[in-house]
């Protein structure tokens, strides 16, 4: 019976995988933005209110209503508006936004131990489940934000005005929800190995260098003759064997004759004796 090959995967680096780092950065950022969107009373603003000075702006949220002024930074909150808080979207938004904040914290509490857990390899199942919770928390944020924006001008209120605008909480809620959706989805796809293990930062054992996937041909061995081997008498050079015993003398280049050096420096001068 042929032996079945076992596929072994090896991590290319001991650092935390990139998809987990991405999710662990996006999820807390989204949670902070969603928290700001939940507690701030600025889901929509009412400008040019009847019976109010021109510099008064009514800011309505899901928990409170405040009066803001263009001339200063003062806020007068706890403004009564019973018809506004009786709108269906207000109660739904309160429940979903709070639930989103709680679910995000639970997801982060699950992802953080699963990402490393002080081991070499992450627990991908645990991290994937935490990413799924973060993904769902982002969806729970986007639903009330989108619904509120869709019926922005149709909400019942005691304040009469024709200039209704979106507040900054709508923008922060959209951004925070998208951050959580992206971060949770990226961490969730790590629960399964795809793209050849690239999503987890893994490779096959043979691709990581511990095995040989494409073996290279062995180099050809060359036989080098040794001096200690017996020299063959056969030769391909066309001369007789007796000519090897003849003394062959080769002419040598003649060395140049040595120049005579005159050691007598006074050869051109007469001696005193001659005089």
User: Based on the number of CB atoms within 10 Å of its own CB, is 172 exposed (0-12), middle (13-18) or buried (19 or more)?
Assistant: buried
**pLDDT confidence of residue 229:** 54
**pLDDT confidence of residue 209:** 47
CB 60 within 8 A of CB 43: yes
pLDDT tens digits for range 73-125: 778 888 888 899 999 999 999 999 999 999 999 999 998 887 765 666 777 78
Whether 222 shows a pLDDT value over 70: the answer reads no
Whether 274 shows a pLDDT value over 90: the answer reads no
Q: Please tell me whether residue 139 adopts helix, strand or coil conformation.
A: helix
Confidence band (pLDDT; 50, 70, 90) for 18? confident
**C-beta neighbour count of 162 within 10 angstroms:** 10
Whether 258 shows a pLDDT value over 70: the answer reads no
Strand partners, 60: 44, 65
**pLDDT confidence of residue 150:** 92
Mean per-residue pLDDT of the chain:
75
Beta strands of the chain (E only): which ranges? 9-11, 44-47, 56-60, 65-69, 75-76, 163-166, 202-204
Confidence band (pLDDT; 50, 70, 90) for 210? very low
Contacts of 42 (CB under 8 A, 6+ apart): 59, 60, 61, 167, 168, 169
Whether 68 shows a pLDDT value over 80: the answer reads yes
Least confident of 26-40, 72-86, 113-127, 250-264: 250-264
Nearest CA-CA partner of 180 in 129, 112, 107: 107
**pLDDT confidence of residue 157:** 87
Least confident of 31-40, 123-132, 144-153, 187-196: 187-196
Whether 19 shows a pLDDT value over 50: the answer reads yes
Residues of the chain with pLDDT > 70, as a percent, come to 61
Whether 196 shows a pLDDT value over 90: the answer reads no
Least confident of 23-37, 80-94, 141-155, 215-229: 215-229
Whether 195 shows a pLDDT value over 70: the answer reads no
**pLDDT confidence of residue 254:** 56
Phi, psi of 255 (to 5 degrees): -80, 145
Whether 207 shows a pLDDT value over 60: the answer reads no
Q: Can you tell me the mean pLDDT for 204-231? A: 56
């Amino acid at each position: 019976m042929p032996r079945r090959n076992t596929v072994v995967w090896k991590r290319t680096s001991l650092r935390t995988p990139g998809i987990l780092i991405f999710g662990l950065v996006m999820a807390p950022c989204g949670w902070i933005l969603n928290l700001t969107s939940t507690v701030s009373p600025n889901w929509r603003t009412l400008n040019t209110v009847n019976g109010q000075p021109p510099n008064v702006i009514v800011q309505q949220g899901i928990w409170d209503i405040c009066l803001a002024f263009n001339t200063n930074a003062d806020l007068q909150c706890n403004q009564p508006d019973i018809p506004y808080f009786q709108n269906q979207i207000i109660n739904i938004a309160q429940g979903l936004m709070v639930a989103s904040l709680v679910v995000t914290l639970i997801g982060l509490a699950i992802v953080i131990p699963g990402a490393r857990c002080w081991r070499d390899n992450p627990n991908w199942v645990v991290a994937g489940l935490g990413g799924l919770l973060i993904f769902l928390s982002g969806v729970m944020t986007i639903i009330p934000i989108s619904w509120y924006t869709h019926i922005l001008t149709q909400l019942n209120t005691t304040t009469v005005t024709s200039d209704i605008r979106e507040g900054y909480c709508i923008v922060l809620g959209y951004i925070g929800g998208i951050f959580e959706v992206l971060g949770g989805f990226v961490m969730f796809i790590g629960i399964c190995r795809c793209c050849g293990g690239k999503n987890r930062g893994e490779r096959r054992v043979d691709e990581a260098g511990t095995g040989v996937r494409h073996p290279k041909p062995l180099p050809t061995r060359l036989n080098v003759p040794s001096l200690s081997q017996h020299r063959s008498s056969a030769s391909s050079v066309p001369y007789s064997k007796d000519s090897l015993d003849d003394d062959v003398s080769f002419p040598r280049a003649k060395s140049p004759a040595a120049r005579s050096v005159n050691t007598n420096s006074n050869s051109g001068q007469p001696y005193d004796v001659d005089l």
